[in-house]
Amino acid sequence: MRFVRVIHQDHYDSRLGRFQSLAFRPSSSNGGVSVFEYDCAIATSSKICNHINIFYPHVSGQPPIYWVFDASALPEDHDIETSPSDRNDACHRDIKLSKKLAEKFFKQHASFPDSFRICLTVGESRELSLDDLRPDSTQK
């Protein structure tokens, strides 16, 4: 099973040249990392970028950036809970794992920029590039 994590541009650290580990940190409110199921999102919204724009515009920033990863790569010490999102996304899940395991997982599996995608204005996406994160960049 694949999951999608919405990543906000503000979590990019230009000094480090990567996204900060807080981009995959468990929530202080429920202890889960908020994600949604890839296949469910496709079935619901036809495209990942459409799904983000429908259910997560308040989380994503513009244009949305996201990371797709396989659940089989998660550390053994985790739980996946079906949980409602604040916008009633039936595909939403919370991955419950410690802050330390979450940071380690993100650093090991989310290589910048190859692991990330950016949504285009037509609902499509492409690989993220460093130019996309510069303040003066424009969507191509």
Query: What pLDDT is recorded for position 135?
Result: 61
38 against 109, higher pLDDT: 38
pTM of the model: 0.89
Report the alpha-carbon angle 28-30-32, nearest 5.
90
**Torsion (CA) 107, 47, 10, 56 in degrees, nearest 10:** -110
The whole-chain average pLDDT of the chain stands at 88
For residue 96, the SS3 value is: strand
User: Does residue 117 carry a pLDDT above 80?
Assistant: yes
Domain chopping of the chain, boundaries: 2-133
Q: Within 13 Å, how many C-alpha atoms sit on residue 74's CB side?
A: 22
pLDDT tens profile 42-91: 999 999 999 999 999 988 888 999 999 999 999 888 999 998 788 899 99
Is 3.20.170 the CATH classification of the domain at 2-133?
Answer: yes
- Across the range 111-137, mean pLDDT stands at 84
